Structure 1
């Protein structure tokens, strides 16, 4: 079995109080989740390491995730958060980049009403600091933000961008024309990669291999085998399927559409993109 790196996992403790999007209305995931809650299924699927991705727009949560990484060799890295609107954003990014385990930053742009927010000139110094330090820009996903990521990638060609969840294609309604066009345009930017993650929660009842495979095939055609990486999006995933179910489906689809490059999708692409500049190490779980 291929050793796997889950490039998109969340954990949270509700009592921390800064998960503003996580309300009782999301009853399936409105509780505490830790790595151990996923690990039986993850380990059985061959997952040895994970990258923890921020779920709160706060520096305190980033510190929380970094503390978990310091104590748990399963955590290969942390994608954190920085207040881009602060005058000291660039300095904060430079400071954060020196911290062990921090591998990327994710502004929660999909929670904002203005899709062009990240393109404001005032954020250029922060983005340049990310480029200079090798921190990855994780692209918080929404279909109308794919084109924004293309603009961002062209403005900052030295910035490594990883689009989350393949841009959240509207699988459930089947209206994929704009998504296909926008993904194709984004993939022309060599500094952009994408995660195969978060697809089942966009699919409604269309979670079969044919429907999800249609997405995977287009991603494979556009990005090729060197700029695609796998993630679970656990525990958000549990609103649609188990960790084991998504891992098994991914095994089938990655074997079909990335034949001969399975190890790249499961592990080595994420290790290269996130860990080379940070000096991160893959521990044995």
Structure 2
């Protein structure tokens, strides 16, 4: 996190999240790592132990160190540990995930029946598809819909077509899930529902409600809106769906994917 950001360079604790959950009607949440260190994962698991509303934790291990298998096994033994997320969006080498020395981690996550949160950008879509094909038993969710550049729509940098094709291929050729999250921070500060709609419509068409899950991306979403503001936008963007489909997106899909309520 940037050291001097007025929104992000501060501590957020369960007491800060509780009113957001209550206001939105959510019973529980999943904490997802934000730092490339196992110490943060230990910290998040400590919060989960102390906080009943934290249902699961997605942590981090060093993919470049095969000797971390034992640490991953120890994390996996924790009843609230769900899986792992390498911070691929921050790695300069777009082909990093294809390197031979990191393949052990993908295989280990599959062997241990852990989840894998795929965090990247549109430029990573082809390589993620390769990884998912190589590891068909890996339980995958695409974070933040792979961060389409909504702010660039209609400009020379518009990558919607490439993003849409890449996401459709993942939806069609793998069993991956996708998070309806992080979109407001990829849009302009004065974002509108209409600006987000083509992206969300494509996700609904390709993944469908049973493979699409709401994610708050809180507190990062506060760069553009508050928790309640993103909930309201997501509800508006899915208002044409039936009650059953909306229930999947706003809880059911996440509960099944992260196995909330069971091991």
Name the TM tier (shorter chain).
over 0.9
Structure that is richer in helix per residue: 2
1:152 aligns with 2:131: yes
- Please report how far the alpha carbon of residue 222 of structure 1 lies from its aligned counterpart in structure 2 after TM superposition: 0.8
Instruction: Give per-residue Cα distances to partners, 1:105-152, cap 9 Å, x unaligned.
Output: 001111110111111122222211111211111011222112221111
- Between the aligned partners of 1:111 and 1:230, the Cα distance in structure 2 is 23
Instruction: Give per-residue Cα distances to partners, 1:198-253, cap 9 Å, x unaligned.
Output: 10011014621111121110001111121111111000000100111111111121
Aligned to 2:262: 279
1:143 aligns with 2:126: no
1:57 aligns with 2:36: yes
- Between the aligned partners of 2:120 and 2:28, the Cα distance in structure 1 is 23
1:214 aligns with 2:193: no
TM-score calculated relative to the size of structure 2:
0.93
- Between the aligned partners of 1:59 and 1:78, the Cα distance in structure 2 is 12
Structure 2's unaligned 5+ residue stretches are none
- Please report how far the alpha carbon of residue 22 of structure 1 lies from its aligned counterpart in structure 2 after TM superposition: 2.8
**1:129 counterpart (75, 92, 108):** 108
Aligned to 2:3: 23
1:161/1:258 CA distance change after superposition, 3 Å: farther
Does structure 2 conserve the Cα–Cα contact (< 8 Å) formed by 1:220 and 1:258?
Answer: no
- Please report how far the alpha carbon of residue 95 of structure 1 lies from its aligned counterpart in structure 2 after TM superposition: 2.4
- Please report how far the alpha carbon of residue 257 of structure 1 lies from its aligned counterpart in structure 2 after TM superposition: 4.8
Structure 1's unaligned 5+ residue stretches are 1-20, 281-285
- Between the aligned partners of 1:40 and 1:245, the Cα distance in structure 2 is 14
State the Cα RMSD in Å.
1.6
Figure out how many residues of one structure are paired with residues of the other and give that number: 258
- Please report how far the alpha carbon of residue 94 of structure 1 lies from its aligned counterpart in structure 2 after TM superposition: 2.2
Aligned to 1:44: 23
Aligned to 1:82: 61
Does structure 1 conserve the Cα–Cα contact (< 8 Å) formed by 2:133 and 2:174?
Answer: no
Does structure 1 conserve the Cα–Cα contact (< 8 Å) formed by 2:66 and 2:104?
Answer: no
**1:250 counterpart (231, 234, 241):** 234
1:110 aligns with 2:89: yes
Does structure 1 conserve the Cα–Cα contact (< 8 Å) formed by 2:14 and 2:51?
Answer: no
Greater RCO, 1 or 2 (C-alpha within 8 Å, sep 6+): 1
- Between the aligned partners of 1:258 and 1:113, the Cα distance in structure 2 is 42
TM-score calculated relative to the size of structure 1:
0.86
- Between the aligned partners of 2:241 and 2:99, the Cα distance in structure 1 is 37
Q: Secondary structure at the match of 1:77?
A: strand
Does structure 1 conserve the Cα–Cα contact (< 8 Å) formed by 2:20 and 2:228?
Answer: yes
- Please report how far the alpha carbon of residue 191 of structure 1 lies from its aligned counterpart in structure 2 after TM superposition: 2.4
Does structure 2 conserve the Cα–Cα contact (< 8 Å) formed by 1:158 and 1:191?
Answer: no
Aligned to 1:191: 175
1:270 aligns with 2:254: yes
Does structure 2 conserve the Cα–Cα contact (< 8 Å) formed by 1:79 and 1:106?
Answer: yes
Q: Secondary structure at the match of 1:88?
A: helix
